[in-house]
């Protein structure tokens, strides 16, 4: 095993925020006042917050510096151009990037050069049309966050389907839909289906987490083919592949699986979309563990990954990119574009929806400052030393917990450690409808000021689902690690707290929902009551 003490440091902190000294009594008061809803608990009163890795990243000095170049113009702000170029660099060009943001950062004075290389460039045929092609056939949409991209995509899709194929039913399979993706699909009367690969819970020896990886985030290809054959290809408007697979414990997806899903998609003429949150972390796993990629650079692996999809939605709040941002992209004149441009160009429909909901296409609900930070972030997250630090920190945490006997999903994924709640409560009388995972999160806040997030029967609404749907629900508490925020002290404190709670798990309360049981995405909204036995 690698001695983790000998990893060469790759960064240092120059801005510091103090953690407040809060007592257990004070936290108890705050819990009661916020109806024991974990999302509603004030962050100011916490010691360590693993609620989400979304938008919680510490920005780098270069991102902060780039903020100063933010252009807040309403039409075609400068950031728009450098951001589109960054998208092309990262998702299409591999090592052959152009990095035209440098023209702005170094204050290029040659106006013709600026126009030729940045401001007036006509590009077509990829994920990010440019110049007049983006006007004629829009295919890249900036939005505030990932779910806005999902909203654009599925409401527009629903409109096209209803107008042209009224009365039919539709299914969208995925290796694991994220909760907002699932909810956006559902609320447009389409059925989301999870096709987890069979072996998420298979045993994995902790000693091997740095040597091999079974890519448990993969999609089950056999079930995918079966679903399409059963429902008919015309009833499957899209196939979705989430990389990394957040719902399946943040597990990576192999390049091989991307290739195989793409082959199925091609065979049936169905567009393959990525939910590309954490594409960079996924690329690092491929480099580390998939045969044939150990010599490839991260940018080249990312390029190859995206060759397989016809479009993607993404939250730029993930992967340590930025604190805010999202996007929706599809291949110019690709499968999606051809299939859903019936009377009108589907890109034009999406753009209308974007303008209606988030603002014109060159800012999409983001400030010019956000756009600059995001542009720089895109280049930083594909740096290998950053990714190594990131993934090793999560791996250290999972390893320490496993060695202390706390049941975690192994090997760990890229952004979070997932405690397996069914095994955590083994030997106690906690049943699935007692929401033991929620009880664990409440007790962690109360005693230690540590916040995790239940992603299981409570969040995925076990009690509202059919027996068939319940099979798609896994039972986890997730500890999502914000990027570049915490150090080894925070990890050790958390490991100690979780270990102590696991040893005393009979003291963890069961949980009842007292308000808002029926609400959609209820984990953000309901009121709860812990029941101590
Ligand atoms: C976070 C996330 C989303 C939604 O993105 P937001 O920016 O939170 O709206 C979608 N899919 C996955 C896999 C995510 O992790």
Looking at the chain, the whole-number percentage of residues with pLDDT higher than 90 is 88
- What's the gap in Å between 325 CA and the centre of ligand 1? 10
Q: pLDDT category, 1, cuts 50, 70, 90?
A: very low
Q: What's domain 24-49+384-531's architecture?
A: Alpha-Beta Complex (3.90)
Summarize the confidence of residues 51-57 as an average pLDDT: 93
pLDDT of residue 485: 95
pLDDT of residue 179: 85
Summarize the confidence of residues 409-424 as an average pLDDT: 95
Task: Please tell me if the CB atom of residue 242 comes closer than 6 angstroms to any atom of ligand 1.
Answer: yes
* pLDDT tens-digit map of 76-95: 999 999 999 999 999 999 99
In testing the pocket of ligand 1, which one of 245, 275, 313 has its CB within 8 Å of the most ligand atoms? 275
Task: Please tell me if the CB atom of residue 273 comes closer than 6 angstroms to any atom of ligand 1.
Answer: no
Q: In what order do the strands lie in the sheet with 476-480?
A: 416-420, 476-480, 453-455
- What's the gap in Å between 1 CA and the centre of ligand 1? 34
Mean pLDDT of the chain: 94
Which residue(s) pair with 49 in the sheet?
Answer: 451
Task: Please tell me if the CB atom of residue 54 comes closer than 6 angstroms to any atom of ligand 1.
Answer: yes
Instruction: Identify whether the C-beta of residue 142 lies closer than 8 Å to the C-beta of residue 327.
Output: yes
Which structure tokens are listed for 24? 């257990």
What is the spatial distance between Cα 137 and Cα 124, in angstroms, rounded to a whole number? 9
Neighbours of 300 (CB within 10 A): 18
pLDDT of residue 407: 96
Instruction: Return phi, psi of residue 109, to 5°.
Output: -95, -15
328 closest CA partner among 305, 308, 351: 351
Task: Please tell me if the CB atom of residue 180 comes closer than 6 angstroms to any atom of ligand 1.
Answer: yes
Task: Please tell me if the CB atom of residue 176 comes closer than 6 angstroms to any atom of ligand 1.
Answer: no
Instruction: Identify whether the C-beta of residue 35 lies closer than 8 Å to the C-beta of residue 527.
Output: yes
Which structure tokens are listed for 427? 């030997």
Summarize the confidence of residues 181-187 as an average pLDDT: 94
> Is it the case that residue 148 has pLDDT exceeding 80?
yes
Task: Please tell me if the CB atom of residue 316 comes closer than 6 angstroms to any atom of ligand 1.
Answer: no
Neighbours of 110 (CB within 10 A): 10
Summarize the confidence of residues 41-68 as an average pLDDT: 96
- What's the gap in Å between 112 CA and the centre of ligand 1? 40
- Take atom 3 of ligand 1 and give the residue whose Cα is closest: 146
pLDDT of residue 523: 81
- What's the gap in Å between 84 CA and the centre of ligand 1? 21
C-alpha 255 chain-centroid distance: 18
Q: The whole model's pTM is what?
A: 0.94
pLDDT of residue 462: 87
Task: Please tell me if the CB atom of residue 181 comes closer than 6 angstroms to any atom of ligand 1.
Answer: yes
Neighbours of 259 (CB within 10 A): 13
Q: pLDDT category, 471, cuts 50, 70, 90?
A: confident
Residue owning tokens 């800012």: 363
Instruction: Identify whether the C-beta of residue 284 lies closer than 8 Å to the C-beta of residue 294.
Output: no
For 10, residues 6+ apart whose C-beta sits below 8 A from its C-beta are 385, 386, 388, 389
Instruction: Identify whether the C-beta of residue 511 lies closer than 8 Å to the C-beta of residue 434.
Output: yes
* pLDDT tens-digit map of 216-274: 999 999 999 999 999 999 999 999 999 999 988 899 999 999 999 999 999 999 999 99
Instruction: Identify whether the C-beta of residue 433 lies closer than 8 Å to the C-beta of residue 451.
Output: no
SS3 64: helix
Instruction: Return phi, psi of residue 384, to 5°.
Output: -65, -40
Summarize the confidence of residues 33-61 as an average pLDDT: 96
Domain boundaries, the chain: 24-49+384-531, 167-341
Handedness of CA 190, 143, 322, 262 (dihedral sign): positive
For 256, residues 6+ apart whose C-beta sits below 8 A from its C-beta are 215, 290
- What's the gap in Å between 147 CA and the centre of ligand 1? 6
Summarize the confidence of residues 481-499 as an average pLDDT: 96
> Is it the case that residue 475 has pLDDT exceeding 50?
yes
> Is it the case that residue 36 has pLDDT exceeding 60?
yes
- What's the gap in Å between 242 CA and the centre of ligand 1? 10
Burial category of 264 from C-beta neighbours within 10 Å (exposed 0-12, middle 13-18, buried 19 and up): middle
CATH, domain 167-341, list 3.40.640.10, 3.40.50.720, 3.30.70.270, 1.10.287.130? 3.40.640.10
Q: pLDDT category, 319, cuts 50, 70, 90?
A: confident
* pLDDT tens-digit map of 106-141: 999 999 999 999 999 999 999 999 999 999 999 999
382 closest CA partner among 98, 95, 127, 100: 95
Summarize the confidence of residues 152-174 as an average pLDDT: 93
């Amino acid at each position: 095993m690698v001695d983790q003490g000998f990893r060469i440091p790759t960064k240092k902190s120059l801005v510091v925020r103090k953690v407040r000294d809060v007592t257990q009594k004070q936290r108890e008061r705050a819990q009661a006042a916020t109806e024991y809803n974990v999302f509603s608990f004030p962050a100011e009163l916490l010691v360590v917050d693993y609620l989400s890795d979304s938008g919680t990243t510490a920005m780098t000095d270069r991102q902060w510096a780039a903020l100063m170049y933010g252009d807040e113009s309403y039409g075609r702000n400068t950031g728009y151009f450098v951001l589109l170029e960054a998208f092309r660099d990262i998702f299409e060009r591999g090592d052959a990037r152009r990095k035209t943001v440098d023209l702005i950062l170094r204050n290029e004075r040659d106006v013709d050069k600026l126009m030729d290389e940045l401001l007036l460039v006509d590009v077509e045929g990829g994920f990010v049309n440019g110049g007049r092609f983006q006007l004629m056939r829009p295919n890249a949409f900036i939005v505030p966050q990932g779910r806005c991209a999902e909203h654009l995509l599925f409401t527009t899709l629903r409109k096209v389907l209803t107008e042209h194929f009224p009365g039919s039913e539709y299914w969208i399979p995925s290796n694991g839909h994220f909760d907002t993706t699932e909810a956006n699909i559902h609320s447009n009367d389409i059925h989301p289906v999870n096709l987890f690969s069979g072996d998420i819970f298979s045993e994995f020896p902790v000693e091997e987490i740095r040597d091999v990886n079974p890519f448990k985030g993969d999609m089950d290809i056999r079930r995918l083919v079966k679903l399409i054959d059963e429902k008919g290809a015309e009833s499957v408007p899209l196939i979705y592949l989430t990389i990394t697979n957040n719902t399946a414990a943040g597990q990576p997806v192999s390049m091989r699986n991307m290739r195989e899903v793409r082959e199925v998609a091609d065979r049936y003429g169905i567009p393959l979309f990525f939910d590309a949150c954490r594409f960079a972390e996924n690329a690092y796993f491929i480099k580390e563990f998939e045969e044939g990629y150990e010599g490839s650079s991260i940018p080249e692996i990312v390029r190859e990954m995206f060759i397989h999809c016809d479009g993607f939605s993404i939250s730029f709040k993930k992967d340590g990119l930025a604190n805010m941002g999202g996007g929706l992209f599809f291949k110019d004149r690709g499968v999606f574009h051809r299939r859903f441009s019936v009377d009108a160009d589907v890109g034009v429909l999406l753009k209308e929806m974007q303008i209606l909901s988030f603002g014109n296409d060159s800012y999409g609900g983001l400030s010019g400052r956000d756009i600059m930070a995001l542009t720089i972030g895109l280049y930083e997250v594909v740096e290998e030393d950053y990714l190594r630090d990131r993934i090793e920190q999560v791996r250290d945490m999972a390893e320490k917990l496993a060695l202390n006997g706390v049941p975690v999903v192994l090997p760990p994924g890229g952004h979070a450690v997932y405690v397996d709640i069914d095994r955590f409560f083994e030997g106690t009388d906690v049943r699935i409808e007692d929401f033991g995972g929620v009880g664990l999160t409440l007790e962690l806040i109360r005693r230690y000021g540590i916040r995790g997030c239940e992603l299981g029967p409570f969040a995925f609404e076990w009690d509202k689902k059919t027996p068939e749907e319940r099979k798609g629900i896994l039972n986890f508490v997730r500890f999502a690690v914000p990027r570049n925020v915490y150090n080894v002290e925070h990890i050790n404190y958390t490991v100690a707290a979780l270990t102590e709670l696991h040893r005393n798990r009979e003291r963890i309360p069961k949980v009842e929902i007292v308000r808002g049981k029926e609400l959609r995405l209820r984990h953000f909204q309901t009121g709860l009551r812990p029941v101590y036995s």
